[in-house]
Amino acid sequence: MSDIKKFMYLNRRAPYGTIYAWESLEVVLIGAAFDQEVSLMFADDGVYQLVKGCDTSESDMKNFMPTYRTLGDYGVRYMYVDQASLEARGLTADDLIEVAWEDWETEEEVDNIVEVVDSAKVTELMAESDVVFSF
Q: Which of residues 61-100 bind other proteins (CB under 8 A)?
A: none
40-58 exposure pattern, b = at least 16 Cβ within 10 A, e = fewer? bbbbbbbbbbbbeebeeee
- What count of Cα atoms within 13 Å lies in the side-chain half-sphere of residue 125? 24
Q: Min. distance of Cβ 26 from other proteins in angstroms?
A: 6
Residue closer to other proteins, measured from CB, 123 or 134: 134
Spatial neighbors of 60 by CB under 8 A, at least 6 apart, are none
Q: Which of residues 15-54 bind other proteins (CB under 8 A)?
A: 19-20, 23, 26-27, 30-31, 33-34, 36
| Residues of the shown chain interacting with other proteins in the complex, contacts defined by CB under 8 A | 1, 3, 5, 7, 19-20, 23, 26-27, 30-31, 33-34, 36, 131-135
